[in-house]
Amino acid sequence: MPDPRRYLVKELFGPTLQGEGAHAGRPCVFLRFAACNLECTWCDTDFAPEGAVRYTADEIVTKLVELDGNRSRMVVVTGGEPTLQWDQPLADALHAAGFRIHMESNGTRPLGAPVDWLTVSPKPQFHPASISLVNDLPLSELKVVIDDTVDAAVLDRYVERYRCAHYFAQPCMNEQYAHHLARTLALVQARPAWRLSVQLHKILGVP
């Protein structure tokens, strides 16, 4: 028998709260993969392969069950870009352990296996002419981070092209946060299809 696949994992942590989107405030645990196909310079997460650890699917599940002390059985799979490694054996192992799988992706790659909830966070700031979303992704929600490069026309194009139940505009939480928040509020108030999302976990100071 060949050795089972080992996934490059940046961190596993919890229990914590989902801080963003339609499920903000829900207890969960996190599986954060290393590596990304875009590597945006403004990214606020550490996805570098340095310091990452390789785990089998069974090892990932065992660690997540241990972390999930409140038995939320909700795992947020993120990165980096999780679709670089996401596959059916890991999806099956997590579902067999009773986890509901929520994933956040940049939307530029197809899914290697189904998930229960898919958040796509496109990066219009990153070579917008050459980077686009996969057309047939089963979107649950679309989340766009708002900075000065994202305007109303960008949001309108996303609504026209990609159909889902939830559209979120989220102010970039950097040193210009007050400015980005004001712009985001104005965009949302002018476009009722969009809702405000804030990074609740950062505001509350939870992991």
Q: What is the pLDDT of residue 44?
A: 64
Return the DSSP state at 137: -
pLDDT band of residue 3 (cuts 50, 70, 90) is: low
What pLDDT sits at residue 49?
A: 79
Distance (Å, rounded) from C-alpha 18 to C-alpha 109?
Answer: 23
Mean pLDDT across the chain: 91
- Tell me if the bond preceding 192 is cis, omega within 30° of 0: no
Chain-centroid distance, C-alpha 199: 12
Segment 129-155 mean pLDDT:
87
Domains and CATH numbers, the chain: 7-204 (3.20.20.70)
**Residues 188-203, mean pLDDT to the nearest whole number:** 93
Residue 42: predicted pLDDT: 66
56: helix, coil or strand? Answer: coil
Neighbouring CB atoms inside 10 A of 45's CB total 12
Q: Report the pLDDT value the prediction gives residue 2, as an integer from 0 to 100.
A: 54
pLDDT of 89 strictly over 70: yes
- The C-alpha atoms of residue 198 and residue 176 are separated, in whole angstroms, by 14
Which pLDDT belongs to residue 1? Answer: 47
Percent of the chain surpassing pLDDT 70: 93
Active-site residue list? 30, 36, 40, 43-45, 104, 201
Residue range 124-137, pLDDT digits in tens:
776 555 567 888 89
pLDDT, tens digit, 9 for 90 and up, residues 20-75: 999 999 999 999 999 998 877 666 667 777 889 999 999 999 999 999 988 999 99
Residue 190 has pLDDT above 90, yes or no: yes
Q: Name the more confident of 149 and 131.
A: 149
